């Protein structure tokens, strides 16, 4: 049964894959950066961005204590302010999934877990599948996997494809986010190709980065990925989500990403069901900006909890 | 503290269902200084026109009057030419070249300092979006002055062993689509090469040229080196026909260009004409499709399509035609048409009522001819002159909307199968100003740039301008080059 569902999928026809012109992409991105977002529009955008955050802790030094605090923060961003949403999810290592799930019970906040030998992905398929099973069995709503960049750069596209399809299968009902680690793919043409492989192999989301490699998320890379999602939607009518992750630390930049989303994929994607920010410090900057829009002045960073 | 139920509700606010509209963000006009009435700038002073007549200049986005502009007649033009001749003989041609350069640098710097005011006035008077006047028109105008200032004392090195000499008095007539930028294109090389100038801006967009006159007066440029006379066709004709002018530089329509050439035949006046265009923008199957769609949009909707080098004829190879057109239609919906002063506006107001009538006339012609008409669904202001981005799909070479310059946000779309076919179609037009080629393959680009009869060919980009790059056309798009080293030659004799 498992085999059957895999064989229903197939690699995309790369002869139909469009080429990417980097200069043109950068020019388009610059236009998103000059859209003026003010007043109500800004407040609306900030709340939207806040609601799309996957609040993340992915460190070797993570402990139960740290994860508990993060979960509390996720559900109580800034209780003193009314009318603000929560974040979309908390993103942790598989060993903390059970704890996070318990902490977030009843909040509606999802638990995402990285898996498949995150962040390098250098392991056997067997280990990766069991890593995924472990996360899902512990209650992960979403799984963030990494692709095998080495295999991709060697041109073993079918290996990368099969691996994603196998992990998707192991996810069961959990939604799968596929991390391309674009900082290691070197060209936008590669980003386009890796995006197609992930989408055709069954990804629910495509994600830029682990956050462990620099550069992490960039706007040109995100635009190329959004355009791949759009082309797939044109072709099949199926929606795929997008998650830029790493390096998006200010509200201003987050709004630029949302402008890009709005003008590339439109209103249907302007929801945390289809768009996420993988970030740790973004939430506080957004809160600070929202407070400023409300009061007219900036508050000290010490008024916002740092968990 | 919020209850769990409330939290749940917050978590599914349905923000995605609501439209996230950008709030209006108009550029302030409080910092600009506009007079109620503008005079002629002759011999370093602002003087009243001899007829005492003035005409209104209006804001095409609101149809409100901005100012009164002096209407110069033959007498005024004669005064301006005499002032220019006197300045040429007495001061400008006697000045060491490096001193000329210093004045031009000073104009460039002053323009940079006052860029914000110039941007706002350009947008008020001409209808172009503030984003373009702020990011393109005004900085590029300043860059032209900087660029040519550098050449002023290096002409001997630009043309070694050829003894370049100035011509005398240049009569310059400029269009309404890039008012200040065209003034810079004309004035900067003329001054750098040691000529003096009588310039006439277009009657719908005189203001930034007159602000430039104020700036030139502030710069201390010797009186009479630059004279600015305002008015319509009659004023232009007076410049063209004045016997003491050595050179005519004209940018505008091909019809007027032909009249000018007839008028100066046999007079010994040198001329450069930069006229109309109907450029082919060619998309091959291996093009970067998403970036090409941006290039199509930039090619035809930049400055409401009021661009002589606009990519107004789109050619798409048949294998990608469907996807390119689908993406283009989607992209049109994200273009914001409206208040030119709003920083979020992509497409501003059509320059004049007359031009809007011309565009609408062509839209009717196109519909009758049978090409498939498509317009974006955006809202446009009820007041002012506006036109939605427009496509004519499945157009053919025999359609008038394909053959004639519309000078508005109207794009014709044709498909092609082979390289030979598209070259033939691209060249099958009386114009030859510019073209665009989109492909991932370098050899294809070079093949096409050799065979396209166009003065400028952009590869994987469109509508890019730089002071160092020459610009000008073949065939009925005119002759002579502006910009770069080539732009010095029309103002020199050897």
Q: Where are the alpha helices (DSSP H) in B283-347?
A: 289-301, 318-333
Question: What ipTM does this complex have?
Answer: 0.94
Contact residues, chain A, for B4 at CB < 8 Å: 106-107
A243 is catalytic: yes
Question: Which residues does B contribute to its contact with A (CB < 8 Å)?
Answer: 1-2, 4, 7-8, 10-23, 25, 131, 135, 286-292, 294-295, 323, 326, 334, 343-344, 440, 460-461
A-chain CB neighbours of B17 within 8 Å are 267, 271
B288 and A28: CB-CB below 8 Å? Answer: no
CA distance B232 to chain A (A): 37
Residues of A within 8 A of B376 (CB-CB) are: none
Question: Does the N-terminal peptide bond of residue A119 adopt cis geometry, omega within 30 degrees of 0?
Answer: yes
Residue B379 has a pLDDT of 87
Q: Is residue B262 in some structural domain?
A: yes
- For A22, name the nearest residue in chain B, comparing CA atoms only: B291
Domain assignment present for residue A36? The answer is no
> Would residue A25 count as lying in a domain?
no
Q: Are A235 and A13 in contact (CB under 8 A)?
A: no
CATH of the domain at B197: 3.40.605.10
Q: Which residues 43-62 in chain A show a CB within 8 A of chain B?
A: 44-45, 47-48, 51
B21 occurs within a structural domain: no
Of the residues B39, B117, B308, B387, only one is catalytic, namely B308
Q: Cβ A44–B17 below 8 Å, yes or no?
A: no
Mean pLDDT for the stretch of residues A271-300 = 94
Tell me, yes or no, whether A306 lies in a domain: no
Kindly list the residues from chain B whose CB atom is less than 8 angstroms away from the CB atom of residue A227. 290
Q: Which residues in chain A are contacts of B323 at CB distance < 8 A?
A: 231, 234
Nearest to A51 among B8, B15, B287 (CB): B15
pLDDT at A253: 98
Same domain? B52 vs B74: yes
Q: What does the alpha-carbon distance between residue B126 and residue B384 come to, in Å, rounded to a whole number?
A: 12
Within 8 A of A85 by CB-CB distance, chain B residues are 10-11, 13, 15
Tell me which residue of B483, B461, B99, B167 sits closest to B293, measured CA to CA.
Answer: B461
Q: H helices within B4-135, ranges in order? A: 4-11, 74-87, 97-113, 115-126, 130-132
Contacts of B442 (CB under 8 A, 6+ apart): none
Domain annotation covers residue A18: no
Domain that holds residue B359: 280-467
Cα angle: A52, vertex A53, A54; to 5 degrees: 120
* Closest by Cβ to B11, choosing from A45, A109, A268: A109
pTM over 0.80: yes
Catalytic residue among A73, A110, A177, A207: A207
Of B13, B17, B21, which is closest to A51 when you measure between CB atoms? Answer: B13
Neighboring chain A residues of B8 at a CB cutoff of 8 Å: 107-108
Query: Does any domain span residue A73?
Result: yes
Model confidence pLDDT, tens digit, residues A68-85: 999 999 999 999 999 999
User: Could you tell me which chain A residue has the CA closest to the CA of B328?
Assistant: A264
Tokens of B464: 């890019």
Instruction: Give the residue numbers spanning the domain of A69.
Output: 41-294
Nearest CA in chain A to B295: A24
Residues B109, B110, B116, B122, Cα dihedral to 10°: -110
| pLDDT value for B3 | 46
- Residue A19 counted as domain residue: no
Among A16, A22, A24, A265, the strongest candidate for a mutation testing the B interface, having the largest count of B CBs within 10 A, is A24
Do residues B372 and B247 share a domain? no
- B289 contacts on A by Cβ (under 8 Å): 18-19
**Residue B29 included in any domain:** no
Residue B221, domain member (yes or no) = yes
Chain B neighbors of A40, CB-CB under 8 A: 23
Cα(A11)–Cα(A87) distance, rounded to whole angstroms? Answer: 34
Using 50 as the pLDDT threshold, list the residues of chain B that sit under it: 1-18
Q: Can you tell me the distance from the alpha carbon of A163 to that of A116, in angstroms, rounded to the nearest whole number?
A: 10
A39 a catalytic residue: no
Same domain flag for B363 and B396: yes
Nearest CA in chain A to B134: A34
- Domain count across chain A: 1
Q: Rounded to an integer, what distance in angstroms lies between the CA atom of residue A144 and that of residue B10?
A: 25
**In a 3-state reduction of DSSP, which class is residue A166?**
helix
What is the average pLDDT score of chain A?
Answer: 94
Residues of B with Cβ-Cβ distance to A257 under 8 angstroms? none
Q: How many CB atoms lie within 10 A of CB A79?
A: 11
Question: How far is residue B60's CA from residue B79's CA, in Å, rounded to a whole number?
Answer: 32
| Mutant choice from B2, B15, B464 vs A, greatest count of A C-beta within 10 A | B15
Are A24 and B290 inside 8 Å of each other by CB? yes
For every residue of B234-294, DSSP letters joined together read HHHHHHHH-TT--EEEEES-HHHHHHHHHHHTTS--EEEEE-----EEEE-TTS-HHHHHH
**Cβ–Cβ of A24/B326 closer than 8 Å?**
no
CATH code, domain with A76:
3.20.20.70
Q: CB–CB of B23 and A227 under 8 A?
A: no
pLDDT digits (tens, 9 = 90+) for A4-49: 444 578 999 998 899 999 999 999 999 999 999 999 999 999 999 9
Q: Is residue B63 part of a domain?
A: yes
Query: Measured between alpha carbons, how far is B76 from B81 in angstroms, rounded to an integer?
Result: 9
* CA angle at A92 for the pair A88 and A95, rounded to the nearest 5°: 140
B461 inside domain: yes
d(CA B176, CA B251): 10
Residues B165 and B183 in one domain: yes
- Please tell me which of the candidates B12, B15, B326 has its beta carbon nearest to residue A48: B15
Examine the domain organization and report whether B436 and B385 are in the same domain: yes
Q: Could you say which of A19, A84, A262 has the minimum Cβ distance to residue B20?
A: A262
**For B351, which DSSP code?**
S
Within an 8 Å CB–CB cutoff, is residue A32 touching chain B? no
State the nearest Cα–Cα gap between B317 and chain A, in angstroms. 14
DSSP string, A14-27: GGGPPP--HHHHHH
Identify the DSSP state of B485.
G
CB contact under 8 A, A106 and B289: no
Q: Cβ separation of B16 and A234 shorter than 8 Å?
A: no
Give A307's pLDDT tier (boundaries 50, 70, 90): confident
Minimal CA separation from A166 to chain B, in Å: 31
Mind listing the pLDDT tens digit for each residue in A196-253?
999 999 999 999 999 999 999 999 999 999 999 999 999 998 999 999 999 999 999 9
Q: Are residues B391 and B437 in the same domain?
A: yes
Q: Give B397's DSSP letter.
A: T
- Shared domain check, B296 and B416: yes
Q: What is the largest CA-CA distance in chain A?
A: 60
- Identify whether A74 is part of a domain: yes
Claim to verify: residue B233 and residue B292 sit in the same structural domain: no
CB atoms within 10 A of CB A3: 7
**β-strand pairing of B478-479 with B270-274:** antiparallel
Tokens 């070249």: give the residue.
Answer: B97
pLDDT tens by residue, B4-47: 444 433 323 232 333 788 889 999 999 999 999 999 999 999 99
Of B11, B291, B461, the CB nearest to A25: B291
Helix B138-151 / helix B115-126 crossing angle, nearest 10 deg: 120
Q: How many domains in chain B?
A: 2
CB pairs under 8 A between A and B: 113
Nearest to B8 among A34, A36, A108 (CB): A108
In a domain, B19, yes or no: no
Contact call for A262 and B461, based on CB within 8 A = no
Give dist(CA B430, CA B404) in Å, integer.
Answer: 9
CA distance B344 to chain A (A): 6
Q: In B, which residues are within 8 Å of A21 by CB distance?
A: 288, 291, 440, 460
B458 and B487 together in one domain: no
A307 is a catalytic site residue: no
C-alpha span between B320 and B392 (Å, rounded): 17
Is A15 buried (19+), middle (13-18) or exposed (0-12) by CB count in 10 A?
exposed
Mention every residue, 6+ apart, whose C-beta is less than 8 A from residue B268.
none
Q: In terms of domains, do B268 and B287 share one? A: no
Question: Does residue B174 sit in the same domain as residue B307?
Answer: no
**B297 plus B404 within the same structural domain:** yes
Q: What local confidence, expressed as pLDDT, does residue B4 receive?
A: 47
Pick the catalytic residue from A144, A204, A231, A285. A144
A12 found inside a domain: no
Determine the distance from the C-alpha atom of residue B485 to the mean position of all C-alpha atoms in its chain, rounded to a whole number: 20
Q: Which of B288, B295, B326 sits opposite A18 (nearest CB)?
A: B288
Distance CA B464, CA B483 (A): 13
- SS3 (DSSP) at A94: helix
Backbone angles phi, psi at B411, to 5 degrees: -115, 130
Residue B170 inside a domain? The answer is yes
Nearest to B294 among A28, A40, A268 (CB): A28
């Amino acid at each position: 049964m498992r085999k059957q569902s895999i064989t229903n999928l197939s690699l995309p026809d790369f002869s139909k894959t469009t080429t990417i012109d980097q200069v043109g992409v950068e020019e388009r991105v610059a236009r998103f950066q000059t859209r003026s977002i003010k007043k109500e529009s800004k407040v609306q955008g900030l709340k939207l961005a806040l609601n799309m955050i996957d609040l993340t802790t992915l460190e070797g030094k993570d402990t139960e204590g740290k994860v508990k605090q993060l979960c509390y923060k996720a559900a109580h961003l800034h209780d003193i302010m009314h009318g603000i949403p929560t974040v979309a999810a908390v993103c942790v290592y598989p060993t903390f999934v059970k704890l996070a799930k318990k902490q977030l019970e009843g909040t509606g906040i999802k638990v995402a877990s990285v898996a498949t030998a995150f962040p390098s992905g250098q392991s056997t398929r067997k280990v990766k599948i069991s890593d995924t099973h472990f996360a899902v069995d512990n209650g992960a709503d979403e799984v963030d996997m990494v692709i095998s960049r080495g295999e991709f750069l060697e041109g073993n596209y079918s290996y990368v494809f099969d691996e994603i399809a196998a992990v998707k299968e192991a996810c069961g009902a959990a939604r799968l986010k596929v991390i391309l680690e674009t900082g290691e793919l070197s060209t936008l043409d590669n980003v386009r190709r890796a995006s197609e492989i992930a989408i055709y192999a069954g990804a629910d989301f495509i994600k830029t980065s682990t956050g462990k490699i620099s550069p992490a998320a960039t706007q040109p890379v995100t635009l190329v990925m959004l355009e791949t999602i759009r082309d797939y939607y044109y072709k099949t009518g199926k929606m795929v989500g997008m998650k830029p992750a790493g390096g998006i630390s200010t509200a201003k930049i987050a709004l630029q990403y949302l402008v890009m989303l709005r003008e590339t994929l439109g209103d249907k994607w302007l929801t945390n069901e289809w768009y996420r920010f993988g970030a740790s410090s973004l939430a506080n900057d957004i809160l600070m900006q929202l407070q400023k829009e409300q009061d007219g002045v900036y508050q000290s960073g010490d008024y916002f909890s740092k968990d | 503290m919020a209850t769990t139920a409330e939290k749940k509700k917050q978590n599914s606010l349905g923000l995605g269902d609501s439209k996230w509209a950008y709030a209006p963000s108009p550029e302030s006009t409080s910092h600009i200084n506009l007079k109620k009435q503008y005079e002629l700038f002759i011999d370093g002073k602002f003087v009243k026109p001899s007829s005492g007549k003035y005409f209104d200049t209006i804001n095409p986005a609101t149809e409100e009057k901005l100012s009164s502009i002096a209407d110069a007649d033959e007498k005024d033009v004669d005064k301006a030419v005499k002032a220019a001749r006197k300045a040429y003989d007495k001061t400008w041609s006697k000045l060491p070249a490096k001193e000329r350069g210093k004045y031009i640098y000073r104009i460039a710097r002053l323009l940079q300092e006052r860029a914000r005011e110039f941007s706002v006035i350009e947008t008020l008077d001409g209808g172009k979006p503030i984003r373009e006047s702020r990011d393109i028109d005004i900085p590029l105008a300043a860059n032209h002055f900087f660029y040519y200032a550098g050449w002023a004392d290096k002409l001997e090195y630009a043309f070694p062993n050829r003894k370049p000499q100035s011509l005398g008095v240049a009569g310059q007539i400029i269009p309404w689509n890039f008012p200040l930028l065209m003034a810079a294109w004309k004035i900067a090389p003329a001054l750098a090469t040691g000529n003096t100038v009588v310039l006439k801006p277009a009657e719908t967009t005189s203001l930034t040229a007159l602000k430039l006159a104020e700036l030139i007066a502030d710069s201390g440029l010797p009186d009479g080196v630059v004279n600015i006379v305002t008015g319509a066709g009659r004023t232009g004709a007076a410049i063209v026909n004045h016997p003491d002018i050595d050179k005519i530089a004209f940018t505008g329509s091909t019809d007027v260009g032909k009249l000018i050439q007839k008028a100066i035949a046999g007079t010994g006046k040198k001329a450069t004409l930069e006229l109309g265009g109907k450029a082919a923008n060619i998309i091959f199957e291996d093009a970067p499709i998403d970036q090409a769609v941006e290039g199509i949009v930039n090619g035809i909707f930049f400055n409401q399509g009021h661009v002589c080098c606009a990519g107004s004829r789109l050619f798409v190879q048949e294998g990608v035609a469907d996807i390119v057109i689908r993406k283009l239609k989607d992209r049109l919906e994200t273009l914001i048409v409206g208040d030119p002063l709003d920083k979020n506006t992509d497409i501003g107001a059509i320059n004049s009522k007359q031009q809007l009538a011309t565009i609408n006339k062509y839209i009717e012609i196109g519909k009758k001819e049978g090409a498939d008409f498509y317009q974006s669904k955006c809202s446009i202001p009820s007041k002012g002159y506006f036109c939605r981005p427009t496509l004519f799909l499945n157009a053919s070479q025999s359609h008038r909307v394909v053959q004639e310059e519309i000078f508005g946000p109207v794009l014709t779309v044709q498909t092609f199968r082979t390289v030979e076919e598209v070259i033939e179609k691209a060249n099958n037009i009386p114009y030859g100003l510019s073209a665009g080629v989109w492909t991932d393959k370098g050899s294809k680009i070079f093949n096409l740039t050799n065979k396209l009869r166009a003065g400028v060919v952009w590869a994987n980009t469109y509508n890019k301008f730089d002071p160092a790059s020459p610009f000008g056309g073949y065939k009925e798009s005119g002759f002579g080059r502006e910009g770069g080293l080539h732009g010095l030659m029309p103002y020199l004799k050897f």
